Structure 1
């Protein structure tokens, strides 16, 4: 039971930072926050993503490219460019690292307003840091696991962020339902999303990429948006209004 609880906590905490900070803040600028809180969110990403930590700056660029070139040959992570989810994950990984290391020449319009903390990324992104996190997960399982098969769950912790991204970016372009006719294959993965912080409403998001609330139907619940509303009320972030929003990528 302790292992299951650990896996659930890791899943939702990691997904919270990827959804709210990486996706909605870095890539789409749906809200603003102070530099101090921005750094706090960077640290939160590192503590929850661990061995699968990704840079908010590089992620923001990659996701903006995804919206600009969805389902074309220039899309950095489209099922249409891969034969299966594993090859898509590998291609996504390569495209991400090319952006992170500067090998990909990125137009300035894709970098506007992105959060950047190079010194922190250098440490958090290092192979030594990733190995240390893997060792920490193994140690936790050594303390908490009661059956040998539980150790088979460790890869979920090792690649948590990548797995979450792959599920949404692959499945939500392959299966699901559609609320809006758009010029790509995006779909809403599940009607009631308590698993992906509202990221499962992918078709809604592609129709309205700058809209903080991904839900449009009465039964759709965007928990990521609810979390942002709470953070807004606590004055940790400031949600942008649609009128003031300028990032349309």
Structure 2
């Protein structure tokens, strides 16, 4: 099986329409009646909950790479937060990311950076990729768990329920900023890890691909921008290997350790790194 270039693939019109609608509504954020500073605050808070706790800590470091363990209730909570990012269901997200690591910057990589910035940033997800059929094989540890299956199947209704709650609390501005602006912002921050950190920055390790360390992506993604470090040592819970490579998610894991909620934390021997 191969991942073809975009001109050989069928467009996924459902995803294209989904992306267009989200971006168009987000662009209304500064129209009269849709802006308020409290709504911006809601968006920033939910950016951290869904992008930081959910995607970076939950989907990525905990579930995809199993770089540490938590009690099951906390794992489910973090995966729920990731589901609120609306980047598909957790099973698909984890499966596609594991495939990416196995074939990073090769033809089977879903977002192979050799096909250009646009492709690795978001072009790949706008097409019907044959490699998606491999997701069940890469997610045997989670794809029969009823909680994961529920979140996989109902991530859109869950988002709608959050939108209703925000509307009841703060009206339409809370919906525009807390749902649409926040989702689009978390989308692009996450996608920069696929695109920018395979194009810009520096390389500390020979990782067998084009991954780089990019400080400004690390700022936007709670530490995920130290991507070359991560690809060199993908099971490490800590991505910022140097003292100046600030990794907020690693700090969160350290806090969970102190609280007794993170165990079996995998790290790289600093002499080796």
Q: TM-score, normalised by structure 1?
A: 0.75
Deviations 1:144-186 (A, max 9, x none): 58xxxxx689643243443232121111111112212332111
Secondary structure (helix, strand or coil) at the match of 1:225 reads helix
- With over 3 angstroms needed to count, the CA separation of the structure-2 counterparts of 1:94 and 1:236, relative to structure 1, is farther
CA distance in 1 between partners of 2:136 and 2:49 (Å): 32
Instruction: Please name the residue that 2:75 is paired with.
Output: 38
CA distance in 1 between partners of 2:178 and 2:130 (Å): 26
Aligned pairs for 1:92-111 within 5 A? 92=125, 94=127, 99=132, 104-106=133-135, 108=137, 110-111=138-139
Q: 1:198 Cα deviation (Å)? A: 0.8
Aligned pairs for 1:181-220 within 5 A? 181-190=206-215, 193-220=218-245
* Conserved? CA contact 2:60–2:94, under 8 Å: yes
CA distance in 2 between partners of 1:83 and 1:191 (Å): 17
Instruction: Please name the residue that 1:59 is paired with.
Output: 93
Deviations 1:116-170 (A, max 9, x none): 43442255324x444555566677774658xxxxx68964324344323212111
Secondary structure (helix, strand or coil) at the match of 1:239 reads coil
* Conserved? CA contact 2:111–2:121, under 8 Å: yes
- With over 3 angstroms needed to count, the CA separation of the structure-2 counterparts of 1:160 and 1:134, relative to structure 1, is farther
Matching of residue 157 in structure 1 with residue 186 in structure 2 = no
CA distance in 2 between partners of 1:130 and 1:25 (Å): 22
Secondary structure (helix, strand or coil) at the match of 2:195 reads helix
- With over 3 angstroms needed to count, the CA separation of the structure-2 counterparts of 1:191 and 1:153, relative to structure 1, is closer
Matching of residue 3 in structure 1 with residue 39 in structure 2 = yes
Listed as ranges, the gaps of 5+ residues in structure 2 are 1-36, 269-273
Q: 1:31 Cα deviation (Å)? A: 1.1
| Structure 1 range deviating more: 217-226 or 29-38 | 29-38
| Structure 1 range deviating more: 72-81 or 11-20 | 72-81
- Find 2:154's aligned residue among 112, 124, 139: 124
Instruction: Please name the residue that 2:22 is paired with.
Output: none
Instruction: Please name the residue that 1:91 is paired with.
Output: 124
* Conserved? CA contact 1:176–1:189, under 8 Å: yes
Q: 1:203 Cα deviation (Å)? A: 0.9
* Conserved? CA contact 2:166–2:178, under 8 Å: no
Instruction: Please name the residue that 2:103 is paired with.
Output: 69
Secondary structure (helix, strand or coil) at the match of 2:134 reads coil
Instruction: Please name the residue that 2:32 is paired with.
Output: none
Paired residue total: 229
- With over 3 angstroms needed to count, the CA separation of the structure-2 counterparts of 1:142 and 1:78, relative to structure 1, is farther
CA distance in 2 between partners of 1:11 and 1:39 (Å): 18
| Structure 1 range deviating more: 3-12 or 188-197 | 188-197
| Structure 1 range deviating more: 163-172 or 74-83 | 74-83
- With over 3 angstroms needed to count, the CA separation of the structure-2 counterparts of 1:192 and 1:129, relative to structure 1, is closer
Instruction: Please name the residue that 1:24 is paired with.
Output: 61
Q: 1:64 Cα deviation (Å)? A: 1.1
Alpha-carbon RMSD: 3.4
CA distance in 2 between partners of 1:96 and 1:178 (Å): 30
Q: 1:74 Cα deviation (Å)? A: 0.9
